[in-house]
Amino acid sequence: MNDQTNPETPGTDPDVVVQQPPDGHLALESGSVPMVKRVLEAALLSTNEPLTVQQLKRLFEGEVDADNIRKVLDELKEDWAERPIELTSVASGWRFRVKADYQKFLDRISSEKPPRYSRAVLETLAIIAYRQPVTRGDIEDIRGVAVSPPTLNALVERGWVEEVGTRETPGRPAIFATTKKFLDDLNLRSIEELPPLDELQASLEQAPHLVALPAQEDEANPDSTEQTHAG
């Protein structure tokens, strides 16, 4: 059998059937699951940000539909299940991350200090996460103290909280809610997956690649930046 009748070439996977279209781009047939899996794996390992199914679909120029992408991602997740790195689905898409049991070892050689959060930041974040959408006044009513601008600004700048509108009341106060990035950093797909309130701090500390929010002044002196909110 000569080269014209034998589609296989040395070094190729016999289980993968490929075509070479006129424009020179590699096209994958629907049965080329091993190749699709390797391409997805390479794409996800090469980025720090989650990738959506639609983004991953563009890798194959229309040759693989979204349903098949999801099926292969599920298979890839199983392939990595027993490894120290796992493939997870979060709010913004799919990504690889170090499992929490192994992240603590990597932290020993990391120049970044473990996240440390002030009481004011944690309480404000928790109220927004579990009661959203809320206004600053709502937060103050629940906490019983006025919210200092640095506390709320720190959460906004981190990308965990955003303004999602205004309330139709006098003054039209801003309404705040958590973001997809907040869920991504906690390795969650939706708000419904939030851990119990008393476990939130531990979840934040286990989140990889996080830089600590600066402790606000109220941690050292509660009366310096936040005062008791009377009604």
Q: 81-134, pLDDT tens digit by residue? A: 999 999 999 999 999 999 888 888 988 887 766 556 788 888 899 999 999 999
The answer to whether 201 and 121 have CB atoms below 8 angstroms apart is no
The segment with the largest mean pLDDT, out of 4-18, 114-128, 131-145, is 131-145
Question: How high is the pLDDT of residue 14?
Answer: 46
pTM: 0.64
* Cα–Cα distance for residue pair 36/22, rounded to 1 Å: 21
Question: How high is the pLDDT of residue 200?
Answer: 77
The answer to whether 117 and 127 have CB atoms below 8 angstroms apart is no
The CB density around residue 120, as the number of other CB atoms within 10 Å, is 24
3-state secondary structure of 98: strand
The CB density around residue 225, as the number of other CB atoms within 10 Å, is 20
Q: Which region among 7-21, 30-44, 87-101, 168-182 has the lowest average model confidence (pLDDT)? A: 7-21
More confident residue, 10 or 116: 116
The percentage of residues in the chain with a pLDDT greater than 90, rounded to a whole number, is 42
Mean model confidence pLDDT for the chain = 78
- Is the per-residue pLDDT at 56 higher than 60? yes
The percentage of residues in the chain with a pLDDT greater than 70, rounded to a whole number, is 72
The answer to whether 63 and 28 have CB atoms below 8 angstroms apart is yes
Amino acid identity at 2? N
The answer to whether 219 and 118 have CB atoms below 8 angstroms apart is yes
Question: How high is the pLDDT of residue 137?
Answer: 93
The mean per-residue pLDDT over the stretch 130-141 comes to 93
3-state secondary structure of 97: strand
Smallest CA-to-CA distance from 50 within 88, 99, 18 is with 88
- Is the per-residue pLDDT at 43 higher than 90? yes
Q: How far is CA 184 from the centre of its chain?
A: 2
Amino acid identity at 82? E
Burial of 183 (C-beta count, 10 Å sphere; 0-12/13-18/19+): buried
- Is the per-residue pLDDT at 218 higher than 50? no
Question: How high is the pLDDT of residue 68?
Answer: 92
**What residue ranges define each of the domains in the chain, with the CATH number in brackets?**
18-98 (1.10.10.10), 119-225 (1.10.10.10)
